[in-house]
Amino acid sequence: MARPAHRTYGNALDQGRARLSGAGLDLRESAVQARWLLAHVCGCGQADLRSRAGAALDAGRFAKYMEMVGKRVSGEPLQYIIGSQSFMGYDFAVDSRVLIPRLDTEMLCVYALESLPEDAEATVLDVGTGSGALAVSVALRRPRTCVTAVEIDENALDVARANAARLDARVRFVHGDFFSGVPGERFDLIVSNPPYIARDELAALPPDVCREPRLALDGGSDGLEAYRALARDGAAHLLPGGRMIVEVGETQAGDVSALLAGGIGPTDVLTDLQGARRFVRAALRI
């Protein structure tokens, strides 16, 4: 009786890629995600998979890998499956309790850092911190800055606190809705990546995005509900010379600029790496 052929790393990648492709991912993305998952299971770098292509893969790791592929096929986000997402060069733990930090939001962090001199003391408020990626990154890059992060969802706060502790970042976390957790406090800079998707558009989101917390996605009937709250109460929480910087949806820069200009002061629109108008900055009116 012939002995069964050894299953190799290369065979496993082929099977994972085929399942992902059959579930609707394009060929390139299915290959990328298959590598991500196998590297995670095997505790190696993706580049290592090439040199291991012909090496035998033990049954336990293969079973775990195919289990993860099955979760991805069912629509679970890749980052939830592997349990982390890179942001500003730091690895943040993420799961279904928090929105997955996006590459675009790194530019919000960059613009925030540009407003904070490296050697100066300043105060920063992150409204709706989620995983804590923005607040923690600012605290790590500007260690003399006092960072406060507000979040309405206690489950998300647990994730954010754990990320800050693991990365040794000094952040004060507060439970509250917008500014309710920091009554009477004022800051040099307020940043926020609030929910901005119109409620009637949520059902049309990709299946994996629909797995993320609805609270972090639902921007109300027109997607602008959070910006109205930020514009209404933001000025009372900014120090003289203070600024607010927010991330916005691809078509919202004009509407958000008008809201923040009315409630806070002069605004300008900032772009992402592709040149899209994705951020609005407002300066406190003197």
57 inside domain = yes
Q: Coil, strand or helix: which one is 13?
A: helix
CATH of the domain at 36: 1.10.8
Judge if 255 and 141 occupy the same domain.
Answer: yes
* pLDDT per residue as tens digits for the range 31-54: 999 999 999 999 998 888 988 999
Supply the range of the domain harboring residue 37: 9-74
- What is the average pLDDT score of the chain? 94
pTM: 0.91
Note whether residue 60 is domain-resident: yes
Statement to judge: residues 271 and 138 lie in one domain: yes
Note whether 241 and 272 are same-domain residues: yes
Q: Is the pLDDT of residue 2 over 60?
A: no
Residue 134 shares a structural domain with residue 233 = yes
pLDDT confidence bin for 265, thresholds 50/70/90: very high
249 in the same domain as 123: yes
Same domain, 119 and 68: no
Going from the C-alpha of 104 to that of each of 110, 149, 154, 199, 251, the distances in angstroms are 10, 20, 25, 22, 15
Per-residue model confidence as pLDDT tens digits over 234-255: 999 999 999 999 999 999 999 9
- DSSP, res 119: T
Residue 27 confidence (pLDDT) above 90: no
Q: In the predicted model, is pLDDT for residue 224 greater than 70?
A: yes
Residues 129 and 236 in one domain: yes
| d(C-alpha 94, C-alpha 129), whole Å | 13
Q: How many domains does the structure of the chain reveal?
A: 2
| Cα–Cα distance for residue pair 218/225, rounded to 1 Å | 9
